[in-house]
Structure 1
Amino acid sequence: MPENVLEAERAHLAVARAALTSMREHAESLSADAAGDWVSQQVLQGLLDQRVAALADHRDTPLFFGRLDRDAGDDLPSTIYVGRRHVHDDNSRALVIDWRAPVSRAFYQAGPADPMGVALRRRFGYQGGDLTAYEDEPLDGRQLGESRLLAEEIERPRTGPMRDIVATIQPDQDEIVRSGLDVTVCVQGAPGTGKTAVGLHRAAYLLFTHREKLSRHGVMIVGPNRAFLSYISSVLPALGEVKVDQTTLAGVLGDHSFPEDPIRAALKGDVRMATVLKRALWLHVTKPEEGVLYTKGINRYRVADHEVREIVASLRGTVRYAPGRESLAQRLAHAVLVQMERRGESPDDRTQAAVARSASVKRVLDAAWPKLTPEQVLFRLLSDAAFLSRAARSDLSPAEQETLLWDKPTKSYRSAKWSAADAALLDEIAGLIERIPSHGHVVVDEAQDLSAMQLRALGRRCRTGSATVLGDLAQGTTPWSARSWTTVLEHLGQPSGEVTELTMGFRVPREILDYAARLLPSVAPELAVPRSLRPGAGSLTVRHAPDAAAALPDAVRQAAERDGSVGVIVADSAVAAVSAALAGVPHAVLGAESPGRERVLVVPAGLAKGLEYDHVIVLEPADIVAAEDRGLARLYVVLTRAVTSLTVLHSRDLPDQLTI
């Protein structure tokens, strides 16, 4: 009987929950005192704390979402429950298998053509962490129908932050998630294809599969803004991964936000700046005008100026700037020690260190190879026209050099105000001066919006590792938005990365996606038109009103009567006025730093990328288009944030593409 089956499965869930509680209690009982010294105790305690956090039982989700009945002739159990983490009983018997384990792959990949040793796949429906239904899929060669439970889970209302998708990962998504650590994957994903979730689940998979290596080198998630990070913040912890650095580009490069002309910012983001900055740094290394005279007691040791020039020439450009300066000091000291040995002395390492720190050597260093900070170099480049000309040579035209120069002179690099584009330039110089540590894996979301110099900065963070690059060329909204993923991977320093495309949407209803896709010929004509599995009949309403702002409160109230979140997306400049117009409707305004977890949110169009709401109301699309050069791309982003219904409310004429 079905009800008896469901009761049996609920009983297994209860046993698994009790076992997880026991595992957590055991982890909490362990002590770091057994470690030999204080440092070891702190390290061990940190690992124990992570283990305890990873064993948290999230009561709003079940421990397992699927089951495999296997007929493969191996040593593995014939029945396997697939869930978000591994759970075993006191006898080490597996009650739930982690979705990332190799045997769990069949839950996502098995089908009639290749059952992968599985006789039956069972999916579970749940509500608030309790099992409410199940659905069996026999893998005996019969054609499978559409999964009702899978569709219900995909269409479940989106109140609150992003959820994990472990129960609904599709075969093409699973292939990306399980890509090896040594592979950089670039995912071109249309709206609603789950590219962000795929990137996060790949990070979780790699942490599970390469735990030791990635625990040393780390995994970093880079999102477009803090609101986006807040939206995705619950995904990895729900999968048991609590030690992942989730940050923004400003968090990586420094929060420099001085406003800047878009034309100048775009030029600073051009890859040619890398060559200009390298020259600017090394122009500070000059030919020495004097040699080294080191005095010890009554003895004097001289390194002639031509010898010093030869040493400088041999080092210049072959090493990073700071190690090169240190090597110069050591080589000059070595030249002095050679003279000491010729005179019958026996200098040791302490003598060489003393010579390297001496005033005579320091004088030569400061003159020929001065100590520099990135701010000093960039300040000189942007404030000294003659120096900029020497560094730029023919790479930048005179007009471009004039564009780069600051309009108003600044007295010192210490008082300079840096822009977001400057942050990438400062990081480029920092990487030329000193080696920047690399992560084991970096996930970059909305990568199409990053400049070449920003991509180079992130590339330095995965120089010895790999990356997952996520984005949609059609959603590029910055002046330097990418037109090719091949170019993006080259700038990132991962030219051999694999580009894959997700075109099948699961979240955005077809009627809405088809409407938004009318903009594609204007914003990204080379991309395939996305498709959606969800018909969504009646999900789109385009409404003209003589006074759209006055009609907005009623539209919001109607949307709020339905289950799920409501996003009112407007041009950035209209946020304050729209919020005032909604004074009688409970709501909040999404900010760059705010979590945005209220049910009704007024969302600036500039922050909408990557977010999803059950019901979206777009006010005056024409204003959103007019606000920026790539306004049609911004509108494409805005129109594809809805996962249940979209209402376009306007008084002004719609863009021509939407009136067809």
Structure 2
Amino acid sequence: MSALAIAPTFLSDFTHLTPDVQLDTLAVMRAYQAGDRPVLESVADAADPRVRVLDITPDWSGVVVPAPDAGEYDQPLDDHAGDQPDGTHYRLVTVRPRDEALRFARGLRPDTPTGAVPGGVDPTPTGPPELAGALQAPFDQWQLTLHPDQHRITETRYNGSAQVTGGPGTGKTVIALHRAAHLARRDAAVHPEDTRESVLLTTYNRTLAQSLAERLDQLLPEPGVRARVRVATIDSLARSVVQTHTSMAPRLVGRDELARRWRAVALADGLPFSGRFLADEWEQVILAKGLELLPQYIRCERSGRVQHLAPEHRRQVWETVRRYVGAMRVEGLWSYPQLAAEAARVLDRGEPLFRHAVVDEAQDLHPAQWRMLRAAVPEGPDDLFVVGDPHQRVSDNRVSLASLGINVRGRSHRLRVSYRVTQEILDWSMPVLDRRAALGMDDNADTLAGYRSLLRGPAPVVRGCDNRAEELAALGDRVRMWLESGVNPAEIAVAGRNQWVVRGIAKELEARGVPTAQLEGGGSADAVRVGTMHRLKGQEFRCVALVGVSDHLLPPKAAVEAADGDQVALEHAFQQERTLLFVACTRARDALYVSHVGRPSRLITGTW
């Protein structure tokens, strides 16, 4: 009796198959065990001439490769597991639709690792033939690589606003870049005499804006065309609009400082609400809906706010908000959404700034920021191109584009195939997110059903340590292993949840002679990038290490304490931490390493 071996990554693939294909696959394996050997078909133009495919159904095929002699990573088998008349032992790697299986088989290279990656082994993933060249190209070129099937999205003429959504690694940011470049080239051809900035490329944070600007320089080497695109964060755009039209230099306060100030106000007014609740009520209800009168606030639907507010309590909240916002104005203090609301009012009274806008990481924008964008770009063909993923939302912002005058109906694209993150990393990261659906910006439920990757690579490594010194030493060994395998230092990112962890990371690597640079600062190509998990958002690396994913550090106590005992705020805080960790994990294309001291974070164990 013999059986067909299975590669360690196959079980992950198997869980993504439909029940009928699973049954057919098991039937083929049982037949093999009974001695009814299927025909193993060779694959023309395969990188590895030993790779074979076998029929599972008329439309589905399995890909098999020779098993290593030691069989270290194979599932338990007898002495003749997967053997063929020529003496070769085979193992099943994946089951896919026939054409996709053939493409995958052609792209498999000899000795491609399917389990853990030993030191010095190149972690570059395998993928279909159309990506084979790009995967072997320098990583800065890879960061500009658009999947061949996505060119149509970037070059289409739309009758109005358009939206692109998709999970990690589906190429959303690259699509945004190519769309901005396409609009700039077209604008230069249509309006050669008008050389002003006509295209806005905007996003949520400075680090990503800087990365977008650098990559756009590569896509648009012609200075005259590049000058037509303004790359800016949404907050810097709001600041520049307000400063230009009012000669006022606003002082901005973040959410934590805002919550602290509102807490003092609540205590002074004797309100039974936390500072976080009041800050969120102001930003997520009053500013989000653009409410200017008490009757509007009393009548409004507080969508997404779980805690009920009776009319008499709304009066109390309104009066407190009105008085304190007035006090903020006197001090010259502004919250970020408040500044965007002011910028929208300024733009409504003047001329639009741009002909087109491309918005990346759109899921994190506040409704007031969307009103500003709507006022900055006149409604018409190709006005707004919106790119985001509601599952990667790290803010409390909930947006209905239609309610803000942005209609994407009939012009939305949902990307379900990832080609920038391996299936192994996705399989490990998805349970961290711990939710099945998220509300999309088009008011529809957005799910990750059917979401899969074209890339295969090593499984993520989780390392538990007894103390911090051991954790940092293990990190140093892991980074050294990646460097020895040929990964460029700038293609490696190491992150922690807070600055205390980050400082320890930088000290350990520098002590080992490994130069480091801040995630948000760019810097030398010969330096490993180091920073907080927040700074990873929107970026892409070959290898990512996350340090300090321990239960006493994640979720951080500060996030729990900031909720002030407010159960709704606490639930939001936990979900934000889940999303942040999920986003950080999926910044890696090739390899993911996670470490902790003592008990691992409940975010990765699911134990509460």
**Correspondent of 1:634 among 569, 577, 580:** 580
Matching residue within 440, 451, 463 for 2:355: 440
Which amino acid in structure 1 is aligned with residue 377 of structure 2?
C
The aligned counterpart of 1:246 is: 231
Would you say the 8 A contact 2:144–2:174 is kept in 1? Answer: yes
Equivalent pair of 2:199/2:354 in contact (CA under 8 Å)? yes
Q: Distance in 2 between matches of 1:169 and 1:183?
A: 24
Q: In 1, Cα distance between the equivalents of 2:291 and 2:394?
A: 26
Tell me by how many angstroms 1:652 deviates: 4.2
Number of aligned positions between the proteins = 396
Could you say what secondary structure the match of 2:177 adopts?
helix
Residue identity matched to 2:135: I
Match of 1:582 among 479, 484, 509: 509
1:572 aligns with 2:550: no
Q: Indicate conservation of the 8 Å contact 1:277/1:428, yes or no.
A: no
Determine if contact 2:253/2:335 at 8 Å carries over to the other structure. yes
Please tell me whether the aligned partners of residues 235 and 336 of structure 2 are also in contact (alpha carbons under 8 angstroms). Answer: yes
Tell me the CA shift for residue 634 of structure 1. 0.5
Paired residue type of 2:460: L
Counterpart code for 2:533: A
Aligned with residue 464 of structure 1, among 369, 379, 382? 379
Between the aligned partners of 1:405 and 1:589, the Cα distance in structure 2 is 44
Is the CA contact (8 Å cut-off) linking 2:180 and 2:358 kept in structure 1?
A: yes
The answer on whether the counterparts of 1:267 and 1:404 sit within 8 Å (CA) in structure 2 is no
Residue 440 of structure 1: how far off its partner (Å): 1.3
Larger radius of gyration: 1
Paired residues for 1:266-415 under 5 Å: 266-270=280-284, 272-273=286-287, 389=294, 392=297, 394-395=299-300, 397-401=314-318, 404-405=321-322, 410=327, 413=329, 415=331
Task: Give yes or no for contact 1:191–1:640 (8 Å, CA) kept in 2.
Answer: yes
CA distance in 2, matches of 1:403, 1:571: 34
1:424 equivalent in structure 2 = 340
How far apart, CA to CA, are the structure 2 residues paired with 1:176 and 1:416?
Answer: 43
**In structure 2, C-alpha distance between the alignment counterparts of 1:404 and 1:596, rounded to whole Å:** 47
Match of 2:542 among 614, 622, 629: 614
Q: Note the alpha carbon deviations across 1:153-201, whole angstroms, 9 max, x for none.
A: 135453x597422xx5322x12211221533221112111111111111
**Contact residue 612 and residue 642 of structure 1 kept, 8 A:** yes
Give the direction of change, closer, same or farther, for the CA distance of 1:570–1:495 in structure 2 (3 Å limit). Answer: same
Paired residue secondary structure (2:370): helix
Q: Tell me, yes or no, if the aligned pair for 1:155 and 1:643 is still in contact at 8 Å.
A: no
For 2:128 and 2:436, locate their aligned partners in 1 and report how far apart those are by CA, in whole Å: 35
Partner of 1:555: 478
SS at 2:539's partner residue?
coil
Shift of the 480–408 alpha-carbon distance from structure 1 to 2, 3 Å rule, reads closer
Alignment pair present for 1:534 and 2:480? no
In 2 relative to 1, CA 456–641 (structure 1 residues): closer, same or farther, beyond 3 Å?
Answer: same
Q: Which amino acid aligns with 1:527?
A: T
Query: Residues of 2 paired with 1:495 and 1:414: CA distance?
Result: 40
Counterpart in the other structure of 1:336 = none
Describe the shift of the 1:657–1:524 C-alpha distance in structure 2 as closer, same or farther (beyond 3 A). Answer: farther
The 3-state SS of whatever aligns with 2:461 is strand
Shift of 1:403: 5.7
Preserved CA contact (<8 Å) 1:227 1:596? no
Q: Is the 8 A contact 2:461 2:593 kept in 1?
A: yes
Q: Distance in 2 between matches of 1:152 and 1:192?
A: 18
Distance 2:288 2:129 in 1: 53
Cα 1:443–1:497 change in 2 (3 A) is: farther
Q: 1:578 to 1:489 in 2, by over 3 A?
A: farther
1:197 aligns with 2:177: no
**C-alpha contact 1:230 1:595 (8 A) present in aligned 2:** no
Deviation at 1:422, TM superposition (A): 2.1
Q: Tell me, what secondary structure is at the counterpart of 2:281?
A: helix
In the other structure, the counterpart of 1:26 is: none
2:455 maps to a residue whose letter is R
User: What is residue 326 of structure 1 aligned with on the other side?
Assistant: none
Structure 2 distance, partners of 1:495, 1:269, is 25
SS of the residue corresponding to residue 602 of structure 1 reads: strand
Structure 1 vs Structure 2 CA RMSD: 3.2
Q: Contact between 2:357 and 2:377, CA under 8 Å: does it hold in 1?
A: yes
Task: Determine whether 1:511 maps to 2:424.
Answer: yes
Mapping of 1:80-99 within 5 angstroms? none
After superposition, residues 453-492 of structure 1 pair within 5 angstroms as 453-465=368-380, 466-481=383-398, 487-491=400-404
Q: Which amino acid aligns with 1:493?
A: I
Aligned residue in 2 for 1:232: 212
Q: Secondary structure at the match of 1:233?
A: helix
| Secondary structure in structure 1 of the residue aligned to 2:374 | helix
2:475 counterpart letter in structure 1: L
Whole-Å separation in 2 of the counterparts to 1:652 and 1:499? 45
